[in-house]
Amino acid sequence: MELFVAPSILSADFARLAEAAASVAGRPGTPGADWLHVDVMDNHFVPNLTLGLPVVKSIRAATEIPLDCHLMIEDPARWAPGYAEAGAHNVTFHAEATDDPAAVGRDLRKAGAKAGLALKPGTPLEPYLEILRDFDTLLVMTVEPGFGGQEFMAEVLPKVTEARRRVESGHLELRIEVDGGINADTIHAAAEAGADTFVAGSAVYNADDPAKAVAALRELAARR
Ligand code: DX5
Ligand code: ZN
């Protein structure tokens, strides 16, 4: 299983997003970010406001790194497909934000993106196991969504372990992504639990050399 590192630009300088993307791109001999994680918040689903479709379109034009859009918004049925049409590689929305997540997932795939389902820390995995068969990504939040720089919640990891078990047994076929509080001290536990895709915001963009931070996280995750 290939491990992915997805730096979250939430912790970057919003006036310099193209530079933020370039700073984690691969260089000869060093693989860079596999996905660029873009946190879309609408100040309704979460108590914070970040950026929306026009900014995602501009980032898409500014980098070759596949975009991983994490929609922390209400009414994803209405808004999510637009991110797929804008060229996002993976579009993840929250299970808590819609009563028909399976339909939103189908629409995302129809619009040409990979479909991701995100679960807040308090949301159980079991009710979604069947519909996850038609998703490409499961995003297990390891903090309450809304802000970067929060502390990792290890108590959420049993959901990662359970999802990994379902992948190993052939019931599911998807990436298992963790988001929130991932850094050099916590990534090992997430990897050991079975995550294969690691979002890191502050651990990457507060580092002196973001590309080095990405490489270091990848190495630590691979040591599980
Ligand atoms: C939080 C966001 C995360 C955030 C992670 O709601 O979904 O993607 O950027 O930031 P860190 O890595 O600093 O916890
Ligand atoms: Zn996120």
Residue 29: is its pLDDT beyond 90? no
User: Ligand 1 within 6 A of 149 CB?
Assistant: yes
Residue 206: is its pLDDT beyond 90? yes
Domain housing 205? 4-222
Token output for 190: 């997430």
pLDDT at site 224: 78
Residue 57: is its pLDDT beyond 90? yes
pTM of this structure: 0.98
Between residues 186 and 224, the one the model is more confident about: 186
Question: Rounded mean pLDDT of 28-46?
Answer: 96
pLDDT at site 132: 98
pLDDT at site 28: 87
pLDDT tens column, 144-163 = 999 999 999 999 999 999 99
Question: Rounded mean pLDDT of 7-24?
Answer: 98
| pLDDT band (50, 70, 90) for residue 209 | very high
DSSP label at residue 152: P
Identify the CATH number of the domain in which residue 147 sits.
3.20.20.70
52-90 burial code (b ≥16 CB/10 A, e <16): beeebbebbeebebbbbbbbbbbebbebbbbbbebebbb
Residue 112: is its pLDDT beyond 90? yes
Report percent pLDDT > 90 for the chain. 97
- Tell me how many domains the chain contains: 1
d(CA 11, ligand 1 centre) in Å: 8
From the candidates 107, 136, 179, 196, give the one annotated as an active-site residue: 179
What single-letter amino acid sits at 109? R
Ligand nearest to the CA of 120: 1
Which of 4, 9, 11, 92 for a ligand 1 pocket mutation test, highest count of atoms within 8 Å of Cβ? 11
Which of 202, 205, 206, 214 for a ligand 1 pocket mutation test, highest count of atoms within 8 Å of Cβ? 202
pLDDT tens column, 60-110 = 999 999 999 999 999 999 999 999 999 999 999 999 999 999 999 999 999
Give every strand in the sheet of 175-179, ordered side by side.
4-7, 197-200, 175-179, 137-141, 114-119, 90-94, 67-72, 36-41
Residue 1: is its pLDDT beyond 90? no
Question: Rounded mean pLDDT of 33-55?
Answer: 98
Question: Rounded mean pLDDT of 116-121?
Answer: 99
pLDDT at site 118: 99
